[in-house]
Structure 1
Amino acid sequence: MDTHASTFPLIISVDDHTVEPATVWQDRLPEKYRGAGPRIVRAPVKEMTFLGGRFKPVMGAPGDDGPVGDWWVYEDLRRPLTRLDTAVGYDRDEIRLEVITYEQMRPGSYDVPARLADMDVNHVQSALCFPTFPRFCGQTFTEAKDHELGLLCVRAYNDWMVEEWCGPEAHGRLIPLTLIPLWDPELAAEEVRRNAARGVRAVAFSEIPPYLGLPSIHTDDWDPFLAACDETGTVVAMHIGSSSRMPSTSADAPPAVGSTITFANCCFSMVDWLMSGKFEQFPNLKVMYAEGQIGWIPYILERADVVWEENRGWGGVADKVHRPPSELFAEHVYGCFFDDAFGLRNLDAIGLNNVLYETDYPHSDSTWPKSREVGEAQMGHLEPEVVERIVRRNAIELLGLSDDGLWDGTR
């Protein structure tokens, strides 16, 4: 572990990513499903665009001209690995939307020992990792035709996450984040409890489920799932893009537009939750917004309180939201950031206990290998005990880690 000369606390990142090894599902699915289950095929790309918040790749046929990459094939889905999935180690101006193979990515993207080595370089002790091929809340399996196979794929991913990615080789430094079958809240509750029994304290969920064709959280449909999270102390983790619709302004808006306003879905989602009544219905429930940043939060809380105070009579919340939204936020919601100097200058308006740190490895936005330097520059005005809480203590308490910041499946 690299601790040279710095007094900056060892980082616990609540938002990194894993690129799943090619054999995750082929090793774990029943034999009769392996031909239909997710598998890797090497093929050229015919065309690939990312406009208006929509990623549209088209796989070419063997022998076609075009760059060759590794593609996930699953039912009718053809999804390539891209440089944006794993961009660390490349100069920012060299990062393009292009297909790649496993050999062309940094091994820490998919290999546990290599990941730990890259964490050492970056002053990171522990990390919670979101998926890549399943997408950020497992919507790949929700959109599939065969939900019997989809459920097996969800469980196979979770078994790999707990037993291998976060297994003995990780020495407690990788923190499990599991998936649920989003199409069935009862099955989702079962999966939450199955994983909680082996020490998992975080589950991925969609920031805006109706964008996936699923019920909103204003319904009672999700109550079995939310009850399981409430009972087991499982945090509902929502990553930007977990609704499969990144914010944009037009179909021809360049990716830079969406990249600037990525926090918007988190903003909309947080207001949904604060006005849903679910935090009063499930008093132990906690939610976190990965990669949403935090600087926008103070105004939204101010506005939500005004609306609740002045408009709740006709606003549809008087019978279910009985306390100011800002109070509910303080008890139930966590914002996650990796580069937000403005938010750090306004911690008093956000809440010191509601802020978590992240590095976003291995994505193009990642601060790797300088997450410590970025943190030192942006938190230099804060007292050491405040920095300790942001960088470590809040995550330890939220995710049920050991006092020294490690995951122990027996806890």
Structure 2
Amino acid sequence: MDTHESTFPLIISVDDHTVEPATVWQDRLPEKYRGTGPRIVRAPVKEMTFLGGRFKPVMGAPGDEGPVGDWWVYEDLRRPLTRLDTAVGYDRDEIRLEVITYEQMRPGSYDVPARLADMDVNHVQSALCFPTFPRFCGQTFTEAKDHELGLLCVRAYNDWMVEEWCGPEAHGRLIPLTLIPLWDPELAAAEVRRNAARGVRAVAFSEIPPYLGLPSVHTDDWDPFLAACDETGTVVAMHIGSSSRMPSTSADAPPAVGSTITFANCCFSMVDWLMSGKFEQFPNLKVMYAEGQIGWIPYILERADVVWEENRGWGGVADKVHRPPSELFAEHVYGCFFDDAFGLRNLDAIGLGNVLYETDYPHSDSTWPKSREVGEAQMGHLEPEVVERIVRRNAIELLGLTDDGLWDGAR
């Protein structure tokens, strides 16, 4: 572990990412599915754009001109590995939307010992990691044609996550985050319980399910899944982009527009949950917003309380939301940030117990390898016990870690 003199606590990051090794599904799927299940193919790219929040890569054929990269191939899907999947270690101005191979990425993206070494460099003790190929909540498998295969893919990913990525080689420093078959809430509930039985306390979910063609949280459709989370203490983890639609303003808006307003999906989602009645229906339910930052939260809570107080009679929530939304937020919602000086200056309006720290390794927004320095600069005005709470203690309590900040399986 880094021995640089510092009183800044060892970081527990609640939002990092793993780039899945090429063999995750090929090693675990029944033989009859290996030809259609996720696999890696090396091929050139013919065209690739990311405009208006939409990523559109076109895979070339062998012999075609164009940069060569590693592509995930699954049913009709062709999804390349890109520099944005794993940008740490590169100068900011050198990061482009380009295809890459595994050899061109930092090994810590997919290799456990290398990841732990990069965590050491960054003053990080433990990390919760979101997927890459399945996308942030398993949309890849939800959109596929064959849901029997999709369910096997979800379970294979979860087995790899628990048994290998967070297995003995990780020494408790990698915290499992699992997926569900989003197309079937009953199967989703069963998968939550299957993983909770082996110590998993976090599951990925979509910030705005209707964007995926799924029911909203205002319906009863998700109740079996939410009941399983409520009963097992499993946190519903929602990452920006887990609705497969990044915020943008027009079809030709450059990526910089969407990148500036990524928090908007979290904002919309949080209001959905606060006005849904689900937090009163499922009193142990907890949700967290990865990479959403926190500075926007105070005004939204203020506005939600005003609407609830003054407009609930005609607003459609009087019969299901019986307490001010800000009170529900304090008991059920966690905001996650890696770089938000404004939010930290307004911590009292957010709630000390509702804030978690992250490093976003290995993405282009990541503060690696200076997450400690960023934290020290932005939290310098806070008391040590407050910093400890933000950087470690809230995550330990939320994710059921040991007092030392490690994941200990089915304790």
Q: TM-score, normalised by structure 1?
A: 1.00
- Structure 1: distance between partners of 2:401 and 2:224: 26
Name the SS of the counterpart of 1:392 in structure 2: helix
- Structure 2: distance between partners of 1:167 and 1:4: 28
- Structure 1: distance between partners of 2:65 and 2:5: 52
- Structure 1: distance between partners of 2:28 and 2:12: 30
| TM-superposed deviation, 1:108 | 0.1
- Structure 1: distance between partners of 2:30 and 2:98: 33
Q: Which residue pairs with 2:393 in the alignment?
A: 393
- The Cα offsets for residues 271-310 of structure 1, whole Å up to 9 and x where unpaired, read as 0000000000000000000000000000000000000000
Q: Which residue pairs with 2:56 in the alignment?
A: 56
- Structure 2: distance between partners of 1:377 and 1:260: 22
- Structure 2: distance between partners of 1:98 and 1:86: 11
Name the SS of the counterpart of 1:58 in structure 2: strand
**1:14-29 correspondence runs (5 A):** 14-29=14-29
Q: Which residue pairs with 1:230 in the alignment?
A: 230
- Structure 2: distance between partners of 1:7 and 1:378: 14
- The Cα offsets for residues 345-403 of structure 1, whole Å up to 9 and x where unpaired, read as 00000000000000000000000000000000000000000000000000000000000
- The Cα offsets for residues 324-345 of structure 1, whole Å up to 9 and x where unpaired, read as 0000000000000000000000
Name the SS of the counterpart of 2:376 in structure 1: helix
- The Cα offsets for residues 222-243 of structure 1, whole Å up to 9 and x where unpaired, read as 0000000000000000000000
- The Cα offsets for residues 4-25 of structure 1, whole Å up to 9 and x where unpaired, read as 2111000000000000000000
- Structure 1: distance between partners of 2:232 and 2:3: 35
Name the SS of the counterpart of 2:203 in structure 1: strand
Name the SS of the counterpart of 1:61 in structure 2: coil
- The Cα offsets for residues 127-150 of structure 1, whole Å up to 9 and x where unpaired, read as 000000000000000000000000
Q: Which residue pairs with 1:188 in the alignment?
A: 188
Name the SS of the counterpart of 1:250 in structure 2: coil
- Structure 2: distance between partners of 1:194 and 1:76: 30
- Structure 1: distance between partners of 2:55 and 2:6: 41
- Structure 1: distance between partners of 2:136 and 2:225: 18
- Structure 1: distance between partners of 2:195 and 2:2: 32
- Structure 2: distance between partners of 1:178 and 1:91: 32
- Structure 1: distance between partners of 2:5 and 2:328: 40
Name the SS of the counterpart of 1:381 in structure 2: coil
Q: Which residue pairs with 1:131 in the alignment?
A: 131
Name the SS of the counterpart of 2:50 in structure 1: strand
- The Cα offsets for residues 145-180 of structure 1, whole Å up to 9 and x where unpaired, read as 000000000000000000000000000000000000
**1:233-382 correspondence runs (5 A):** 233-382=233-382
Identity within the alignment, %? 98
Name the SS of the counterpart of 1:312 in structure 2: helix
State the aligned residue count: 411
- Structure 2: distance between partners of 1:132 and 1:238: 14
CA RMSD of aligned residues (A): 0.3
Q: Which residue pairs with 2:122 in the alignment?
A: 122
| TM-superposed deviation, 1:3 | 3.1
| TM-superposed deviation, 1:410 | 2.3
- The Cα offsets for residues 246-270 of structure 1, whole Å up to 9 and x where unpaired, read as 0000000000000000000000000
- The Cα offsets for residues 81-121 of structure 1, whole Å up to 9 and x where unpaired, read as 00000000000000000000000000000000000000000
Name the SS of the counterpart of 1:84 in structure 2: helix
| TM-superposed deviation, 1:51 | 0.2
Name the SS of the counterpart of 2:237 in structure 1: strand
- Structure 2: distance between partners of 1:3 and 1:333: 34
- Structure 2: distance between partners of 1:410 and 1:203: 16
- Structure 2: distance between partners of 1:370 and 1:58: 35
- Structure 2: distance between partners of 1:325 and 1:73: 44
- Structure 1: distance between partners of 2:404 and 2:2: 16
- Structure 1: distance between partners of 2:97 and 2:36: 28
- The Cα offsets for residues 23-50 of structure 1, whole Å up to 9 and x where unpaired, read as 0000000111111100000000000000
Name the SS of the counterpart of 2:41 in structure 1: strand
- Structure 1: distance between partners of 2:321 and 2:258: 32
Q: TM-score, normalised by structure 2?
A: 1.00
- Structure 2: distance between partners of 1:63 and 1:19: 27
- Structure 2: distance between partners of 1:232 and 1:276: 21
Name the SS of the counterpart of 1:314 in structure 2: helix
Name the SS of the counterpart of 1:356 in structure 2: strand
Name the SS of the counterpart of 2:313 in structure 1: coil
Name the SS of the counterpart of 2:70 in structure 1: strand
- Structure 1: distance between partners of 2:79 and 2:181: 20
Name the SS of the counterpart of 2:385 in structure 1: helix
| TM-superposed deviation, 1:201 | 0.0
- Structure 2: distance between partners of 1:24 and 1:111: 12
Name the SS of the counterpart of 1:164 in structure 2: helix
Q: Which residue pairs with 1:41 in the alignment?
A: 41
- Structure 2: distance between partners of 1:352 and 1:383: 12
Segments of 5+ residues of structure 1 without an aligned counterpart are none
- The Cα offsets for residues 181-229 of structure 1, whole Å up to 9 and x where unpaired, read as 0000000000000000000000000000000000000000000000000
- Structure 1: distance between partners of 2:45 and 2:306: 51
- Structure 1: distance between partners of 2:163 and 2:263: 32
- Structure 2: distance between partners of 1:268 and 1:246: 12
- Structure 1: distance between partners of 2:120 and 2:7: 15
- Structure 1: distance between partners of 2:122 and 2:4: 11
- Structure 2: distance between partners of 1:46 and 1:399: 43
